[in-house]
């Protein structure tokens, strides 16, 4: 082991020396020119000023590195630039009263110098850490490997996205309007001594437009938008995340007023020392740096930090303290009206046929996020293109809804027997729906496999309600069990195809007993579930009852399931002839529209 370590040390010193040598020597290989002209370092602001005054005749931009300007009197001005500064300079050159000869080039220095310039400090740092790690690690013979992924700092100067491009989030927009106004005119707020939040947390499930909204705030205010994702910080080498945060805010200070957007902040900002993956050193350092930066900047500096998360419940409370992310703006899944607007936004500029009923599309897509709806419009366009249509028609949109919901139609076909069972199963669902729940529309019954489903009944679901009556829940369970009831009643068999139905039915029945006090165990809550906000996934149940009660609960749950099952069976048995008739028809055509189905059901 000792030898090994000494070898490392030798190697380390060798590498460092080699690097130093190259840095010293390499400038001699670079043809340096223009040594005879007076060159003056200026700031970006000075250079734009000179351009606008018409004092510059030629401008050479070396992309993302520096700009060299030649004045009318022959003086050379040099300034460091990045991509945003580049745009500003070009705009200033456009505004110049004299014509400016503009050249834009990529950096064309020796590759070694380029690498050394940008990587030298990092390489030395990494080697140093590697060395330290070797020294301290007990084994000594383990291979030390790491991936170094730089968090990508994304910048956009004055994004073109505005509030007009974000639909159905009126509350959120209203909350953010103040921020926009502040960014447009920080002085106004400073003079009057009004306090402006430094940090705003955008909270909501995936795909509701958090990123879009953050960008729209920058777009509305006409300020630069810096963004970085929390998940990229945490993969990094110790210390690098914190350095990146420092970089980020340094940039932001240069371009203020501006927006700094931190996506997936929960990745860095998870409660310290708690839960899964707690005590991650790197994450903690990164988080600390973030807190330091946020406390550090002047509230009137014109930097607003927006952060997005779908897990506000797990954020470290330090992040939420006053002066940090003390504002919360909630973005929810859109309602019917919101969905309609989102669809309209994404249909803009596409050839949409007159037969497309946006209102109906909005109605049949409860639970769709903005991203799902954007995807839906795109799928419809793809389908239309595939059929060589010049317009996107309602048919494409309807198919797209099913695609987004259930996945594309599967190439594999069902065997004759599977088809038969699927037909009866789906008709079981459909008839129970039609008979028991007249508020629900049925749009389609199909035995063409799609996604993971063998067949499906495609209908409107009731919009999420604030509360449900016991009868409604029983009815819902009966509809879920309708498939299995049909299998048993008409084919005298049971299939695995009912698994998902059974799971959902059992879940409702169980909650009726333990949470909503809807059984003769009485009006009592026996379990509280803690749901992860927005994910709807349950993480813990608190059971506060004995083993004996547990058995009683199981009994009550199965009583409810049986009650609903009998109901479904009865509905189907009373319509046995209809069931056979509709099944025959469905097997012939494989897909029935809601109207055709209801027609068959009510006939005769």
Binding stretches for Mg ion (CB under 5 A): 211
Tell the smallest beta-carbon distance from residue 370 to ligand ADP (Å): 2
**Angstrom distance (rounded) from CA 532 to CA 452:** 26
Tell the smallest beta-carbon distance from residue 322 to Mg ion (Å): 26
- Half-sphere exposure of residue 73: CA atoms within 13 angstroms, side-chain side: 7
- Give me 330's structure tokens: 């909630």
Question: Which residue of 159, 209, 230, 483 would you call a contact of Zn ion, by CB under 5 A?
Answer: 483
Buried b (16+ CB within 10 A) or exposed e, 186-200: beebbeeeeebbbbb
Contacted by 10, from Zn ion, ligand ADP, Mg ion, none: CB < 5 to 8 Å by type: none
Residue placing its CB nearer to Mg ion in the complex, 212 or 294: 212
Residue placing its CB nearer to ligand ADP in the complex, 121 or 206: 206
Q: Map tokens 């929810």 to a residue.
A: 332
Binding interface with ligand ADP (CB under 6 A): 166-169, 204, 206-212, 308, 342, 345, 370-371, 374
Residue placing its CB nearer to Zn ion in the complex, 373 or 457: 457
Q: Map tokens 């409107």 to a residue.
A: 460
- Give me 527's structure tokens: 């379990």
Map 124-139 to HEC letters: HHHHHHHHHHHHHCCC
What is the x/- site pattern for Zn ion, positions 490-509, by CB under 5 A? Answer: -----------x--------
Total residues interacting with Zn ion, rule: CB under 5 A: 2
Contacted by 70, from Zn ion, ligand ADP, Mg ion, none: CB < 5 to 8 Å by type: none
For residue 238, give every residue at least 6 positions away whose Cβ sits within 8 Å of its Cβ, in sequence order, or none: 129, 281, 282, 285
**Angstrom distance (rounded) from CA 247 to CA 121:** 15
Q: In what order do the strands lie in the sheet with 76-80?
A: 39-41, 76-80, 66-71, 56-62, 101-105
Tell the smallest beta-carbon distance from residue 87 to Mg ion (Å): 25
Tell the smallest beta-carbon distance from residue 151 to ligand ADP (Å): 17
Contacted by 208, from ligand ADP, Zn ion, Mg ion, none: CB < 5 to 8 Å by type: ligand ADP
Tell the smallest beta-carbon distance from residue 340 to ligand ADP (Å): 11
**Angstrom distance (rounded) from CA 497 to CA 447:** 13
Contacted by 342, from Mg ion, Zn ion, ligand ADP, none: CB < 5 to 8 Å by type: ligand ADP
Tell the smallest beta-carbon distance from residue 53 to Mg ion (Å): 43
Determine how β-strand 199-203 pairs with β-strand 303-309.
parallel
Residue 426 known to be catalytic: yes
Instruction: Please name the helix (run of DSSP H) or strand (run of DSSP E) that holds residue 40, with its range, or none.
Output: strand 39-41
Coil/strand/helix, residue 279: coil
**Angstrom distance (rounded) from CA 212 to CA 163:** 9
Residue placing its CB nearer to Zn ion in the complex, 483 or 594: 483
User: How far lies 171's CA from each of 113, 330, 571, in Å?
Assistant: 52, 8, 45
**Angstrom distance (rounded) from CA 140 to CA 299:** 49
- Half-sphere exposure of residue 415: CA atoms within 13 angstroms, side-chain side: 2
Q: Which of 398, 426, 476, 487 is catalytic?
A: 426
Residue placing its CB nearer to Zn ion in the complex, 316 or 487: 487
**Angstrom distance (rounded) from CA 580 to CA 423:** 10
Contacted by 483, from ligand ADP, Mg ion, Zn ion, none: CB < 5 to 8 Å by type: Zn ion
Tell the smallest beta-carbon distance from residue 263 to Mg ion (Å): 5
Contacted by 207, from Zn ion, ligand ADP, Mg ion, none: CB < 5 to 8 Å by type: ligand ADP
Residue placing its CB nearer to Mg ion in the complex, 211 or 251: 211
Tell the smallest beta-carbon distance from residue 504 to Zn ion (Å): 9
Q: Which residue is nearest to Zn ion (CB)?
A: 483
Determine how β-strand 66-71 pairs with β-strand 76-80.
antiparallel
Residue placing its CB nearer to Zn ion in the complex, 82 or 507: 507
Q: Which residue is nearest to ligand ADP (CB)?
A: 370
Is 495 within 8 Å of 478 (Cβ atoms)? no
Residue placing its CB nearer to Zn ion in the complex, 377 or 481: 481
Q: What phi and psi, each to the nearest 5 degrees, are found at residue 228?
A: -150, 150
**Where do contacts with Zn ion occur on this chain (CB under 5 A)?**
483, 501
Active site residues: 426
């Amino acid at each position: 082991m000792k030898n090994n370590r000494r070898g490392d040390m030798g190697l380390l010193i060798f590498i460092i020396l080699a690097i130093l040598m190259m840095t010293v020597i390499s400038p001699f290989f670079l043809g340096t020119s223009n040594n005879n002209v007076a060159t003056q370092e200026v700031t970006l602001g000075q250079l734009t000023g000179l351009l606008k005054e018409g004092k510059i005749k030629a401008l050479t931009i070396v992309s993302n590195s520096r700009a060299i300007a030649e004045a009318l009197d022959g003086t050379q001005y040099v300034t460091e630039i990045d991509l945003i500064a580049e745009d500003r300079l070009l705009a200033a050159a456009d505004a110049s009263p004299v014509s400016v000869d503009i050249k834009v080039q990529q950096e064309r220095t020796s590759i070694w110098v380029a690498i050394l310039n940008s990587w030298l400090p990092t390489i030395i740092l990494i080697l140093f850490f590697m060395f330290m790690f070797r020294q301290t690690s007990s084994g000594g013979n383990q291979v030390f490997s790491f991936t170094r992924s730089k968090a990508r700092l994304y910048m956009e100067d004055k994004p073109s996205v505005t509030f007009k491009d974000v639909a159905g989030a009126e509350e959120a927009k209203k909350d953010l309007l103040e921020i926009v106004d502040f960014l447009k005119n920080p002085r106004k707020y400073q003079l009057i001594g009004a306090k402006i939040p430094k940090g705003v947390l955008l909270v909501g499930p995936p795909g509701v437009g958090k990123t879009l909204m953050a960008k729209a705030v920058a777009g509305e205010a006409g300020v630069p938008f810096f963004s970085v994702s929390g998940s990229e910080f945490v993969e990094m080498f110790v210390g690098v995340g914190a350095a990146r945060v420092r970089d980020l805010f340094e940039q932001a200070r240069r371009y203020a007023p501006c927006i700094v957007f931190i996506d997936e902040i929960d990745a860095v900002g998870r409660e310290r020392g708690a839960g899964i993956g707690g005590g991650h050193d790197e994450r903690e350092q990164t988080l600390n740096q973030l807190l330091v930066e946020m406390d550090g900047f002047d509230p009137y500096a014109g930097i607003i930090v927006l952060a997005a998360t779908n897990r506000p419940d797990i954020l470290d409370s330090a992040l939420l303290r006053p002066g940090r992310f003390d504002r919360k703006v909630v973005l929810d899944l859109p309602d019917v009206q919101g969905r309609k607007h989102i669809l309209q936004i994404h249909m803009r500029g596409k050839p949409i046929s007159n037969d497309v009923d946006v209102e109906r599309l909005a109605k049949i897509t409860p639970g769709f996020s903005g991203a799902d709806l954007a995807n839906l419009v795109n799928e419809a366009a793809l389908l239309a293109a595939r059929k060589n249509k010049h317009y996107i028609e309602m048919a494409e949109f309807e198919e797209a809804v099913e695609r987004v919901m259930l996945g594309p139609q599967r190439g594999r076909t069902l065997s004759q027997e599977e088809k038969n069972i699927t037909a009866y199963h789906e008709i079981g669902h459909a008839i129970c729906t039609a008979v028991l729940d007249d508020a629900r529309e049925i749009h389609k019954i199909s035995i063409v496999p799609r996604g993971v489903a063998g067949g499906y009944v495609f209908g409107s679901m009731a919009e999420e309600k604030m509360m449900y009556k016991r009868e409604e829940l029983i009815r819902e369970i009966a509809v879920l069990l309708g498939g299995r009831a049909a299998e048993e009643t008409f084919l005298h068999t049971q299939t695995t195809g009912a698994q998902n139905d059974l799971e959902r039915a059992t879940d409702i029945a169980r909650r009726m007993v333990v949470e909503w006090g809807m059984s003769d165990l009485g009006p009592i809550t026996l379990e509280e579930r803690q749901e992860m906000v927005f994910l709807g996934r349950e993480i813990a149940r608190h059971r506060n009852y004995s083993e004996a009660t547990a058995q009683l609960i199981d009994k009550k749950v199965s009583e409810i399931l049986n009650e609903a099952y009998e109901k479904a069976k009865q509905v189907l048995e009373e319509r046995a002839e209809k069931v056979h008739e509709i099944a025959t028809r469905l097997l012939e055509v494989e897909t029935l529209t809601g109207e055709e189905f209801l027609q068959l059901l009510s006939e005769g």
